[in-house]
Amino acid sequence: MEWVEKLNSALTYIEKNLYDEIQYKEIEKIILSPIDVLQRFFMSNTGITLTEYIRRRKLSEAAKSLRTSGDKIIDIAFKLGYGSSDAFALAFKRLYGISPSEARLSSAILKPYPRMIFSLNITYVEGDVKMKNINEMKPFVEEQEIFFMPDVRIIGLELRCKLHDTGENPIPALWGKFFEKGFPAALANLPRAIPNAMLGWTGDCPEGSDTFSYIVSIACPANTPVPEGYTYRDLPSSIVAKGKFGESIGDVINRFTPLGFVTCYTDLGWNAELYFDEEENNPPLTNCDGWRWLVPCVKVDEM
């Protein structure tokens, strides 16, 4: 636990110095270890280097400044440690796909890269299935994974949809509204139960109903305050199966049933599309190439 606290202290130091030069010597004093130790740990547990994490956090701050301040682009670049506006523009475009000047347009879509917080987690193994805590979920993983999800609160924008509606699909428009002015600033700094991920949550469809709720949302710890203008749902603790790219809900259930897990939609009444920031550069406005199913389930011997 002491090591986790040191890691988070190092991340807090980085946050406080995004607009200053980050000194690795200072980080070494905080973690009481050579910086190489943190770099190896960071890469193995997050999938990116410490340097890349710092770069993304700086650029996320830049995106916020471009939207909320009247500062010149060159001034923002210098504040964040870039030696020239060209170097800043190149780095910004690599992360966001648009230039800093384009980012100032109201139609530009900018998703923040949130800060990380490490926590102590335990991994359980159920036969051939890796069981982890939900905050350990990572992009680009195609293993047999089951996650324990504690009580969470999803917060976002809601739409009531009709089952088997043959008209125009209204859900892409909801995503468009969600990203209308970039990732909603009201949600950007909320803690996330699933790091770097968003949900297209589907539920509230009682037996006999011909409508259901669809919520574009992030999953937050229970009791997280809900910003004005947003809806929420409190989801009780459960275990959830993560699908692979291209799988239907039936595919996910069929893959985990031989391993002793079955869906418990009847009890919990929801499923969700799972989107990782790292796996899809653009929000899912017109296609479903970047998402997987997240399916609540239960162990057969616990039924």
Extents of the domains making up the chain: 2-103, 124-302
* Bridge partners for 182 per DSSP: 180
Give the pLDDT of residue 150.
86
Q: What CA dihedral angle connects 63, 49, 244 and 203, to 10 degrees?
A: -40
What residues have CB less than 8 Å from 44, skipping those under 6 apart? none
Give the pLDDT of residue 290.
63
**Domain 2-103, CATH homologous superfamily name and number:** Homeodomain-like (1.10.10.60)
Binned at pLDDT 50, 70 and 90, residue 118 comes out as confident
Binned at pLDDT 50, 70 and 90, residue 120 comes out as low
Give the pLDDT of residue 220.
92
106 burial via Cβ count (<10 Å: 0-12, 13-18, 19+): exposed
Q: Which CATH architecture group holds 124-302?
A: Alpha-Beta Barrel (3.20)
Q: Which residue has the higher pLDDT, 268 or 203?
A: 203
Give the highest mean pLDDT range of 71-85, 121-135, 223-237, 254-268.
Answer: 223-237
Give the pLDDT of residue 266.
63
- Whether the CB-CB separation of 282 and 182 falls below 8 Å is answered with no
What percentage of the chain has pLDDT greater than the value 90?
Answer: 16
Give the pLDDT of residue 282.
43
In this structure, of 56-60, 166-170, 223-227, the range with the lowest mean pLDDT score is 166-170
Q: Give me the chain's average pLDDT, please.
A: 81
List pLDDT tens digits, range 124-156: 444 556 678 888 888 877 778 888 888 899 999
Give the pLDDT of residue 286.
37
List pLDDT tens digits, range 274-302: 988 776 544 443 344 468 899 998 776 54
Distance CA 28, CA 34 (A): 6
- Whether the CB-CB separation of 235 and 154 falls below 8 Å is answered with yes
List pLDDT tens digits, range 173-219: 888 888 876 778 888 888 889 988 999 999 988 777 788 899 999 99
Binned at pLDDT 50, 70 and 90, residue 106 comes out as low
| Mean pLDDT calculated for residue range 53-80 | 87
Give the pLDDT of residue 267.
67
| Mean pLDDT calculated for residue range 165-171 | 77
Q: Which residue has the higher pLDDT, 61 or 278?
A: 61
Give the pLDDT of residue 5.
83
